Amino acid sequence: MEKIINSNFKNFISGYSIEVIPRSAAKIESFAEILPKDTRVYIAHIQDEEIEAMVATAKRLYEEGFNVMPHIPARMIKNHSMLYDWISMYQNEAGVNEALLLAGGSNTPIGDFDSSIQLIESGLFDKAGFKRLHIAGHPEGCRDIDPDGGCKNVSAALSWKQEFSKRTDASMAINTQFCFDAEVVKEWAENIRKSGIDIPIHIGIAGPAKLQTLLKFSLECGVGASMKVLTKRAKDITKLLLPYEPTQIINALAIFKDNFPDFNIEQVHFFPLGGIKHTVDWVNEVHRDDLQKA
């Protein structure tokens, strides 16, 4: 494990959430044996994945004692009837009462919904009694939303959701895409704070994985400038074959949080790109080992 410098590193990752997909979850014999009780587990909705598989995974996790938060991707939903059916299945079959609302990875909607705002405006989550609604955040922008590479549309959407959070009793958080550069994260978080957004941030962090795996997912997910952290590592022959660990970015963010307690990152959200158990084992090792001081 890479050297940990900040004494509050453990505190910063405590209470983390983690993301799974049905086929990766199926490889875990018992989540209760590896994850802390009440961990929030997100279920990512992969294109062409049957809703029945998503709901079955949600039910299993709920029965094992976890807070389950499925992705609801707007652009994969045909109409209000389909959205109602999804919400009902998650709620009635799997005890779900919270969701991550996002546009979804597709550039072209298959039906009536194009954005998470439209999902919220449907009123169906409110009618179903969903009191926790998370939204997507993009520290490096999102070309699906701002094709020109800017942040105009993303910023406008965040402002709308900020206003929504103030006029309703919905509990909200911004769950971000993974990033590799702490400076990029700090600048983005500060910019949205200055624009009046005080919704708590759950920062996306890629779990430990092979460098090739991270590069592949980064390209697929549109990770931008922070990829230089990976490409720089790839050029270092001493690190090329070593697995990546998120120690550096978490350490930098934890130090910043120490110095600026009002820093609006509330917790860490892990993308277990190298495997669920691999990520959980890494977190558990952090908590077991004595911290080393520089």
Report the residue count for the chain.
294
- Per-residue confidence (pLDDT) for residue 149, from 0 to 100: 66
Beta carbons within 10 angstroms of residue 234's beta carbon = 16
| 1 inside domain | no
pLDDT tens-digit readout, 201-243: 999 999 998 877 777 766 565 565 555 666 665 555 445 556 7
| 270 inside domain | yes
Tokens of 119: 């999902």
Which of the pair, 214 or 193, is modelled with greater confidence?
193
pLDDT at 93 over 90: yes
Between strands 132-137 and 201-206, the pairing is unpaired
| 4 inside domain | no
| 278 inside domain | yes
Longest Cα–Cα distance of the chain, Å, equals: 57
Beta carbons within 10 angstroms of residue 149's beta carbon = 10
φ/ψ bin of 19: left (φ > 0), alpha (ψ from -120 to 50), beta (otherwise): beta
pLDDT tens-digit readout, 19-65: 999 999 999 999 999 999 999 999 999 888 899 999 999 999 999 99
Full-model pTM: 0.89
pLDDT tens-digit readout, 150-176: 778 888 999 999 999 999 988 999 999
- Per-residue confidence (pLDDT) for residue 49, from 0 to 100: 85
CATH of the domain at 65: 3.20.20.220
pLDDT at 67 over 60: yes
Which residues fall within 8 angstroms of residue 169, CB to CB, at 6 or more apart?
131
Q: How far apart are CA 202 and CA 225, in angstroms?
A: 20
220 burial class (0-12, 13-18, 19+ CB within 10 angstroms)? exposed
Question: What value, to the nearest 5°, has the Cα angle with vertex 43 and ends 89 and 215?
Answer: 150
Contact criterion met (CB below 8 Å) for 139 and 191:
no
Cα 172 off chain centre by: 13
- What would the mean pLDDT of 81-103 be, rounded to a whole number? 97
In this structure, what are the phi and psi dihedrals at residue 112, rounded to the nearest 5 degrees? -80, -15
| 118 inside domain | yes
Amino acid at 23: R
| 248 inside domain | yes
pLDDT tens-digit readout, 98-148: 999 999 867 789 999 999 999 999 999 999 999 899 999 989 876 667 666
> Pick from 271, 270, 239, 266: which is nearest to 253 by CA?
266
pLDDT at 82 over 90: yes
Contact criterion met (CB below 8 Å) for 253 and 203:
yes
Tokens of 168: 């309703």
Report the percentage of the chain scoring pLDDT > 90. 67
- Per-residue confidence (pLDDT) for residue 231, from 0 to 100: 64
Tokens of 231: 């490409």
Please give the residue range of the domain that contains residue 78: 9-288
- Per-residue confidence (pLDDT) for residue 223, from 0 to 100: 63
Q: How far apart are CA 260 and CA 220, in angstroms?
A: 33
| 67 inside domain | yes
Contact criterion met (CB below 8 Å) for 169 and 177:
no
Residue 294 binned pLDDT confidence (cut-offs 50, 70, 90): very low
**What's the domain count of the chain?**
1
Residue 293 binned pLDDT confidence (cut-offs 50, 70, 90): very low
- Per-residue confidence (pLDDT) for residue 145, from 0 to 100: 73
- Per-residue confidence (pLDDT) for residue 292, from 0 to 100: 46
Which residues fall within 8 angstroms of residue 259, CB to CB, at 6 or more apart?
none
Residue 255 binned pLDDT confidence (cut-offs 50, 70, 90): very high
| 294 inside domain | no
Q: How far apart are CA 42 and CA 37, in angstroms?
A: 14
Report the percentage of the chain scoring pLDDT > 70. 84
Q: What is the rounded average pLDDT for all residues in the chain?
A: 87
